[in-house]
Amino acid sequence: MHIAAHAIVCAVLPHGEHGAIARLMTPEDGLQPGYVRGGRSRRLRPVLLPGNVVAAEFRARTEDQLAGLTVELVHSRGPLLGEALAAAAIDWATALSAAALPEGLPAPRLYEALDGLLGAIEHAPSARGWTAALVRYELLLLAELGFGLDLSQCVATGASEDLAFVSPRSAGAVSRAAGEAYAARLLRLPPFLRDGGEAEWPDLLDGLRLTGFFLDRDVLTDRKQAVLAARERLVQRLRRVTN
């Protein structure tokens, strides 16, 4: 097995005295793990930061063997780790990708979306500028894993207008007329997910609540659920920004 590509660092775990096992998101080959010799050294620690883009080369004799991995830094997002909100967002987006995606599943749309999200976190003037991208990335990840939400029409009436809620049971949209009487049991569908455009903080927080429900229920189960702590830290920080 030989893969050479630019890739996004998603997770790094120490291995042995000096090495590390890194999990990288590649454009064509999905999430790939590899052993980095000297990965905990002073030279490589700043390279193997979640969110960084690296030139990666994976080599293994067989498909079942953990690949040896060499990396060279292409783009560092290390300076963002000194900003609490940006660091929390990068931590969550990369941890989610590493925990939720099966290794080797080709997901070029997810790679592009994650790269775009990290770029938005890096360049947007405020957190409001990238939170919508985070919600959309979570929605795309749910869809790629087979847990997509149907936001095209009301599951009760078939109507495609005035969709205001999402059913937690069916993951389908519900119109305002059909769902108003059951609003307490439904999840709010913020307009920016339905119509596009910019969003204010109440809608962004509703979007995070919506995707968070389905990530918790359908994707991050059992041992994977530990990564939700990173999401909770991020959401708490975002709520403080809005108050």
Q: Parse the chain into domains and list their residue ranges.
A: 2-76, 82-242
CA angle 224, 209, 127 (to 5 degrees): 95
**Tens-digit pLDDT profile for residues 111-165:** 999 999 999 999 998 899 999 999 999 999 999 999 999 999 999 999 999 999 9
Architecture (CATH level 2) of domain 2-76: Beta Barrel (2.40)
The whole-number pLDDT of residue 59 equals 95
Distance CA 180, CA 111 (A): 38
The CATH number for 82-242, chosen from 3.30.565.10, 1.10.3720.10, 3.40.50.2300, 1.20.1440.120, is 1.20.1440.120
Mean pLDDT value across the chain = 94
The whole-number pLDDT of residue 214 equals 97
The whole-number pLDDT of residue 227 equals 93
Q: Check if 2-76 and 82-242 are the same fold.
A: no
Output the pTM of the full model: 0.94
Mean pLDDT across 38-67: 93
DSSP alpha helix (H) spans, the chain: 84-100, 108-123, 128-144, 176-179, 191-195, 201-214, 228-242
Distance CA 197, CA 16 (A): 48
Instruction: Report helix, strand or coil for 206.
Output: helix
**Tens-digit pLDDT profile for residues 85-115:** 999 999 999 999 999 999 999 999 999 999 9
Closest to 238 (Cα-Cα) out of 132, 122, 115, 123: 132
Q: DSSP 3-state helix, strand, coil percentages of the chain (rounded to 5)? A: 45, 25, 30
Neighbours of 141 (CB within 10 A): 24
The whole-number pLDDT of residue 41 equals 92
Distance CA 234, CA 138 (A): 14
Distance CA 233, CA 43 (A): 30
Mean pLDDT across 29-43: 94
